[in-house]
């Protein structure tokens, strides 16, 4: 598993590393196949005076309601481990991106039937040009599909079931804010795609 | 509450997000198709998340949302306009999301108090704008009926679009440039959708900058009554 460090992390003590692992092993409340570490939302764990522990968590989307469940789960796990006082803080900066999902996390998403986000990994701001979709191409007068929002054009969203690159967008928003609904044109299965953010 | 320039700005941006979020939430249960139901609710959720961060910068989020009177809200009149038909909702989305994306991109590039939120939200708003653009193209360049409805909606909401560029104290951006970029972007989408760019005034004598000063249109009072009545009837109630 890839261990990700944030610019804000200084030298961690052994205890902090242990607590970080514990907090990071908490499953995501909406996608329980992923841990918070694999999702890349756990930013830091600090041990303060008197054994109080501060955890920094970043939301995937600003309005993601799962953040409250995540905080409660982290608090519970750390309490069970004997930490008397746990404070979970939400930090916004630097903004979470789907590139923060680990390779292991991506593999698990695919296994779970969700197409993982394509990596962006560009330096600096990523210009996003969103265009009409394949759905629009079926509408009289609609425009043809333009390149996807992000990621190289040669990198299609693949069906997590059969691996086909021949998939179409059904809706930009799906069961949660972070996913889009697509359909595979080879095996005809609809599937969720974790949108690039 | 002491109103500083920072909290004036947080209220303005936060109220825009809160009020539009509530309007979009009104579609729940009656959107034209299931995918749209989900899309509009997701956009509303993004906006609500932004509103919570922004209002918390100005004070207690619940008190600000549920216990202020109409005159204390600082949102644009555009976002409080009723949903109307689907064309009206899409037009409101097009006008607002284009504005919000341009504004937040500017704020994200700076180092002011809104930079962290803006950097995060601008990526969400890019999807909102794309959603609005795609529907504008499909409806404008669709059937005679959908074209007519889009044309009417574009014209009806046009008068609320100048207010977006009245400077807000505490928001450090070049409003003139923002307005130029907005006009270019929206006009390009409308033209691609075979719609004319409305020619009417972009504000009325009574609307110029009014929302930011607490003056709202009639439908806003009814919206607030519905949004606030539960909290006011049962203070402190929780799930």
Domain limits for position B102: 5-233
Q: Does the beta-carbon distance from B35 to A170 stay under 8 Å?
A: yes
A130, pLDDT greater than 60: no
Chain B contact for A147, CB < 8 A? no
Would A4 be classed as within a structural domain?
no
On whether both A134 and A197 belong to a single domain, the answer is: yes
pLDDT, position B102: 98
Query: Stretch A158-175: mean pLDDT, rounded?
Result: 91
Give the residue numbers spanning the domain of A149.
Answer: 113-118+130-197
Chain B (200-239) residues lying within 8 Å, Cβ to Cβ, of chain A: none
Give the residue-averaged pLDDT of A90-106: 93
Q: What percent of chain B has pLDDT over 70?
A: 95
Residue B208 has a pLDDT of 58
pLDDT band at A49 (very low <50, low <70, confident <90, very high): confident
Above pLDDT 90, what percent of chain B?
Answer: 89
Q: What is the CATH number of the domain that holds B13?
A: 1.20.1260.10
B142 touches chain A (CB under 8 A): yes
Q: Are B66 and B55 in contact (CB under 8 A)?
A: no
A67 lies in a domain? yes
Q: Does B137 touch chain A (CB under 8 A)?
A: yes
CB contact under 8 A, B117 and A62: yes
Domain count, chain A: 2
Tell which wins on pLDDT, A81 or B1: A81
pLDDT at residue B8 tops 60:
yes
| CA separation for the pair B34, B39 (Å, rounded) | 9
In this predicted model, which residue has the larger pLDDT, A12 or B116?
B116
Residue B238 lies in a domain: no
Which residues in chain B have Cβ-Cβ distances shorter than 8 Å to A171? 35-36, 38-39
Is residue A122 predicted with pLDDT exceeding 70?
no
Is 70 exceeded by the pLDDT of residue B117? yes
- Nearest-angstrom CA–CA distance, B49 and A65: 9
Mean pLDDT of chain B: 94
Look at residue A109 in the predicted model and tell me its pLDDT.
Answer: 94
CB within 8 Å of B239: residues ≥ 6 apart: none
Say if the Cβ atoms of A92 and B120 lie within 8 Å: yes
The H helix count followed by the E strand count for chain A is 5, 7
User: What chain A residue is nearest to B44 in terms of C-alpha separation?
Assistant: A63
Number of domains observed in the structure of chain B: 1
Task: Grade residue A10 by pLDDT with cuts at 50, 70 and 90.
Answer: low
Q: Judge whether residue A9 has pLDDT over 80.
A: no
Are A48 and A91 members of one domain? Answer: yes
Please report whether residue B138 resides in a domain: yes
**A146 has a pLDDT exceeding 90:** no
Give yes or no for A124 touching B (CB within 8 A): no
Average pLDDT over residues B122-137: 96
CA pair distance B108, B117, nearest whole angstrom: 8
| Residue A106 forms part of a structural domain | no
B115 and A CB contact within 8 Å: yes
Least confident residue range of A61-75, A124-138, B21-35, B202-216: A124-138
Q: Please check the confidence at residue B203 and state whether its pLDDT lies above 60.
A: yes
Nearest-neighbour CA in chain A from B57: distance (Å): 13
Residue with the bigger pLDDT between A177 and A60: it is A60
- Using the predicted structure, report yes or no on whether residue A2 has a pLDDT greater than 80: no
Residue B179 lies in a domain: yes
- Specify whether A22 is located in the same domain as A86: yes
Residues 6+ apart with CB under 8 A from B218: none
Asked whether the predicted pLDDT for residue A126 surpasses 60, the reply is no
**Among B81, B75, B222, B208, residue whose Cα is nearest residue B157:** B81
Q: Is residue A173 part of a domain?
A: yes
Minimum mean pLDDT range among A8-12, A140-144, A190-194, B25-29: A140-144
CATH number at residue A54: 3.30.300.130
Q: What's the pLDDT tens digit per position in B134-193?
A: 999 999 999 999 999 999 999 999 999 999 999 999 999 999 999 999 999 999 999 999
- Do the domain assignments include residue B239? no
- What is the DSSP pairing of strand A167-171 with strand A179-184? antiparallel
B133 vs A: CB within 8 A? yes
Taking CB atoms and an 8 Å cutoff, what residues of chain A touch B43?
173
Query: Is residue A83 located within the same domain as residue A26?
Result: yes
CA distance B148 to B142: 10
- Our CA-based measurement puts residue A129 at a distance from the nearest CA of chain B, in whole angstroms, of 9
Task: Please determine, for residue B47, whether its predicted confidence score (pLDDT) is greater than 50.
Answer: yes
Interface test with A, best of B123, B128, B138, B189 (most A CBs within 10 A): B123
Bridge partners, residue B41, by sequence: none
Q: Say whether B142 and A141 touch across the interface (CB within 8 A).
A: yes
């Amino acid at each position: 598993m890839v261990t990700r460090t944030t610019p804000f992390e200084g030298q961690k003590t052994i205890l902090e590393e242990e607590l970080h692992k514990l907090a990071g092993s908490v499953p995501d409340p909406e996608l329980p196949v992923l841990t918070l570490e694999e999702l890349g939302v756990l930013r830091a764990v600090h041990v303060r005076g008197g054994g109080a522990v501060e955890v920094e968590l970043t939301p995937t989307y600003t309005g993601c309601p799962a953040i409250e469940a995540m905080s409660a789960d982290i608090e519970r796990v750390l309490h069970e481990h004997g930490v008397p006082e746990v404070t979970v803080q939400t930090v916004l900066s630097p903004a979470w991106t789907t590139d923060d999902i680990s390779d292991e996390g991506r593999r698990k998403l695919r296994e779970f039937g969700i197409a993982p986000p394509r990596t962006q990994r560009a330096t600096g701001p990523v210009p996003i040009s969103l265009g009409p979709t394949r759905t629009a191409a079926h509408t009289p007068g609609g425009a043809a599909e333009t390149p996807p929002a992000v990621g190289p054009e040669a990198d299609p969203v693949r069906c997590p079931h059969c691996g086909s690159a021949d998939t179409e967008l059904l809706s930009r928003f799906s069961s949660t804010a972070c996913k889009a609904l697509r359909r595979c044109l080879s095996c005809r299965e609809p599937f969720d795609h974790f949108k690039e953010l | 509450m002491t109103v500083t320039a920072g909290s004036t700005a947080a209220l303005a941006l936060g109220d825009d997000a809160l009020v539009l979020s509530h309007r979009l939430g009104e579609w729940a249960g009656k959107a034209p198709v299931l995918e749209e139901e989900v899309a509009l609710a997701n956009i509303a959720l993004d906006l609500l998340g932004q509103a919570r961060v922004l209002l918390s910068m100005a004070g207690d989020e619940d008190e600000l949302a549920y216990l202020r009177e109409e005159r204390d809200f600082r949102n644009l009149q555009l976002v409080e306009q009723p949903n109307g038909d689907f064309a009206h909702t899409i037009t409101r989305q097009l006008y607002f999301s284009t504005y919000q994306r341009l504004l937040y991109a500017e704020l994200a590039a700076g180092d002011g108090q809104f930079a962290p939120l803006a950097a995060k939200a601008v990526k969400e708003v890019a999807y909102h704008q794309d959603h609005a653009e795609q529907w504008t193209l499909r409806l404008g360049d669709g059937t005679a009926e959908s074209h007519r409805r889009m044309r009417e909606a574009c014209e009806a909401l046009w008068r609320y679009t100048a207010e977006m560029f009245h400077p807000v104290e505490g928001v450090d951006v070049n409003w003139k440039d923002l307005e130029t970029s907005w006009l270019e972007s929206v006009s390009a989408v409308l033209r691609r959708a075979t719609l004319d760019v409305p020619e009417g005034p972009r504000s009325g004598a009574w609307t110029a900058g009014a929302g930011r000063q607490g003056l709202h249109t009639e439908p806003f009072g009814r919206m607030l009554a519905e949004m606030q009545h539960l909290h006011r009837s049962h203070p402190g109630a929780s799930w």
